[in-house]
Structure formats: C-alpha cells, structure tokens
Structure 1
C-alpha cells in the first residue's frame, strides 16, 4: 500500500530541505516509485532538485472552471491534466500545487483534484507532501490518513513550541496519524542543554518521537547557492549520513 509522508512546521524551519533529503534517501534505498508533492504556495522544492516546473495544479484548477474540451468529462479532463503536470524523474515524480483557490474554498475543482489524487496514489510506494505552514492542503488532497508526520523545527524555543502545537492539533483536525516524529533542523553542534530540555519536554507532551537532529550544514548552503540538486550530494558526505541515520530510524522496518 502507498505510504503517505507529510512534513509540517512553521515557515523557515527547513521543511523543503528535509523533503529533498528524504527524497534522496528513498531513491538511494530503492524505496520507489515515489511522488513528491510541493504543497507550499511559495513552491521551491523543484529548485532544490534542480527541476523546471511547467504546470501547477493551481493552473489546472483555474482551467477546470472554464470550458472542457468536447467529448471529455470534467473528471477525465482533470485526470489528464494532472498526469501532464507531473515532472517525471528516475525513481520519482514531482507535482507542484501552486496557488490555492482561496481560504476555505472547497469548490468542484478541489473535489475533482481529491478524486484524481486517490487514483494517482496507487502508482507510488511513497508520497511525500511538503506542506506550507498550515495543514490545509492535506484535507484538500483528501490525505487524512498519514503514515508518517514529520514535524520540522528550527533550533529555537518558538520553533519547538510550534512543533508541539502542530502535533497537538492533529486530533482536532481529524487527521489519522500513524506515527509522528520531530526533526530539529540547522541545530548547533553540540546542542545546548536548555534546547535539549525543551526538545525532550515537547516530544513527551505532544506524543511525538524524536527522529533526530540535523546540524547546520555549510554543504547544503553551498549546494543551494550553486543551483545543484540535493540529489547529487555524495552519500558519504557528513550531512547526508546524518540525514540518512534519521530516516533509518523512521523507516527501519521498511528498508528492503
């Protein structure tokens, strides 16, 4: 069955960086095919993967509100356009959500999108959803059952507090979360004892597991500034080894 991995956290914590590193992990371990969904209106996962975006689902939504080609149902047209929007790479595809319809909009276009996503999901072993700061896209995509919720925080008291609140909100949002993990990104090495205390308290209070801590990395900064894909980072590099160790803890029972 398809496994859904969603990333959440406040803005600027490194969710997209974590999503790119996770995609490298899945492809390196042949845990494919995978679908990466960039659900942030300010889409930039494609930049970390060095891929060009041709069409977003936001554009498709707008097209659905107009005339449909003769001989096609709106459902068929939506499914065709979604397949055309996929950026196909070796081992994974990328889908970019783009701009939403607006707050609270559950129009017919979003309903067709959710139905198409249900059918599309069967083609993948894993789906990674890189969210914006909120969790609204999960309901729009009809992804209320999440196998792994990865809550990403920066190394700040406010970031850890926000991560805890996100974990606590999954119940009221009626999201069915199988496992939820905290990942602290861009942390100092070693971790200050005061920060470690806040991390330890948050995972206990919000019923999370601590997946691990990714230290600040000049290598990631250099890779992004050069415009090179994170997928090209050497597997023996320090940051990749650190990230892979975290993902090993999360998926230890899933690796072939």
Structure 2
C-alpha cells in the first residue's frame, strides 16, 4: 500500500522546494519507488529537478476532446496517455497536472487522474503531492487518505496563521490524515523569540506536530539560479543535513 505525502501552505512558502528536497531524501534513503505529482497550476517542480515536461494532464484533457484512435475506448486512451506523460527517472516518476480546464477549475483533469491513481499507486512505495495553496485537489484526486500532511510556512506571522487555518479545514474536506506537521521554511538562524512563540502557539492550538525549522540557505538559492537539480546537492552540505534530520524525525516518529 502506497503512503501519501501531501504538501500544503500559502503561496511562496517553499512547498515546491520542500517537495524536491523530500524527493531527494526518499531516494537517498532508498524509500523507492516514488511518484511525485506536481498539482500546482504554476508547475515548476520539474525545474528544481532539471527535467523537461513533454505532456501534462491538462494537455491530455484537451486531446480527449478530439477523435480517439479506432479500437480504443476513451478510458483506455486516457490511461495510455497518462502513462506516457510520466517522466521516468531512477527511483521515481514525475507527473505534472499542468493548466486547469478554465479559470479556477481543475475538475476534468483531476477526474482523469483519480481514475488512474489507484492503478498507479500499486507501483509506488510513496506518493508526493505538491499542491497549490488550497487543499481541494486532494479530495478530487482520490487521495482522501493522507499518511503525512506537511503544512509549509515561511517565517512570518501570516504564514504561520495560514498554516494553522489549513490544519483546521482538513476535517470539512473529509480528508483522512494520519499525521500532520508544521514545517517552517527559510527561517533566520537563530530563530527570533517572537517567531518561535507564533510557532509554538500554532502547534499547541491545532492538531499538528512541529516537523522542524529549516534555515534560509544561499546554497538552495544558488542551486535554483544555476538550473541544477536539487537531487545533485551534496548530502554533506549544511542545509541537506538539516533537512534530512527533519525528515528522519518525521518518518522515525511515524514508524
């Protein structure tokens, strides 16, 4: 049975960066195979992995409006195209949702993904879902059972408050979440007392644990600016050691 790891948080908190670092961690720890799903309309997880995207789920949706090859049903054609859209790498595959059907609508694209997710999930040990700011995608993607929800915040009062609110809305969306964590990204070192107080209050008031605090890193910034893959970052670097310690604690705690 695949374990689902979903990332949430307001825009600009570093969810995609965290997704790339999490993917590096799982590959390094040989917790493979992994399916990484970029569910953000502004898809850029592939850029942090230095991978080219040829086909997105949004593009497949448009193709399905046209003629289907003879001898195939629409569902068979859709399943074939989704498998072709997978970017296959050592230890993991990447799927990109792409642009929605229209302004603010992902309904059809998510429906197609939901129809094949159960079959796809059989092939992976972990599924990472890099969401956009909201949580609605998860309920539409047939991923209502979440093993780990990582709510990512930047080091701001508004980011921490948004993370607190996200923790509260998982119930109304009828998501079954086993463990949810607050992860504070790009924090100053040392952490200011006022920020630590906000973090402690959010964790105490919401049903979530503190995964950890990741310091601001010039190394990550330079890696992104260079266009090099985050998978190539040295495991001996300060930021990677810090990130791996955070993820070690999460998975050891849940085991």
Judge same fold: TM > 0.5, yes or no.
yes
Per the TM alignment, residue 74 of structure 1 is displaced from its structure 2 partner at its CA by 1.1
**Do structure 1's residue 48 and structure 2's residue 9 form an aligned pair?**
no
For the residue of structure 1 that corresponds to 2:168, the secondary structure is: helix
**Do structure 1's residue 70 and structure 2's residue 70 form an aligned pair?**
yes
C-alpha spacing 1:104/1:44, structure 2 compared with 1 (3 Å): closer
For residues 13 and 170 of structure 2, the distance between their equivalents in structure 1, rounded to whole angstroms, comes to 19
Match of 2:252 in 1: 252
C-alpha spacing 1:214/1:105, structure 2 compared with 1 (3 Å): closer
1:41 and 1:97 in contact (8 A); partners too: yes
2:110 and 2:137 in contact (8 A); partners too: no
Match of 1:119 in 2: 119
Per the TM alignment, residue 131 of structure 1 is displaced from its structure 2 partner at its CA by 0.3
C-alpha spacing 1:55/1:13, structure 2 compared with 1 (3 Å): same
Match of 1:169 in 2: 169
Partner deviation per Cα, 1:18-57 (whole Å, 9 max, x = no partner): 0000000000000000010000000000000000000000
For residues 106 and 56 of structure 2, the distance between their equivalents in structure 1, rounded to whole angstroms, comes to 18
Q: TM-score, normalised by structure 2?
A: 0.96
1:112-151 pair list within 5 angstroms: 112-151=112-151
1:1-256 pair list within 5 angstroms: 1-102=1-102, 103=104, 106-107=107-108, 110-252=110-252
For residues 121 and 75 of structure 2, the distance between their equivalents in structure 1, rounded to whole angstroms, comes to 16
What is the number of residues matched between the two proteins?
254
Detail structure 1 runs of 4+ shifted over 6 Å in the superposition. Answer: none
2:148 and 2:178 in contact (8 A); partners too: yes
- Unaligned runs of 5+ residues in structure 1 are none
For residues 100 and 205 of structure 1, the distance between their equivalents in structure 2, rounded to whole angstroms, comes to 35
For the residue of structure 2 that corresponds to 1:252, the secondary structure is: helix
For residues 111 and 44 of structure 2, the distance between their equivalents in structure 1, rounded to whole angstroms, comes to 25
Per the TM alignment, residue 72 of structure 1 is displaced from its structure 2 partner at its CA by 0.5
For residues 49 and 110 of structure 1, the distance between their equivalents in structure 2, rounded to whole angstroms, comes to 23
1:61 and 1:110 in contact (8 A); partners too: no
Partner deviation per Cα, 1:129-171 (whole Å, 9 max, x = no partner): 0000111221221111111000000000000000000000000
2:139 and 2:174 in contact (8 A); partners too: no
RMSD: 1.3
For residues 27 and 98 of structure 1, the distance between their equivalents in structure 2, rounded to whole angstroms, comes to 24
Per the TM alignment, residue 178 of structure 1 is displaced from its structure 2 partner at its CA by 0.7
Per the TM alignment, residue 105 of structure 1 is displaced from its structure 2 partner at its CA by 5.8
For the residue of structure 1 that corresponds to 2:79, the secondary structure is: helix
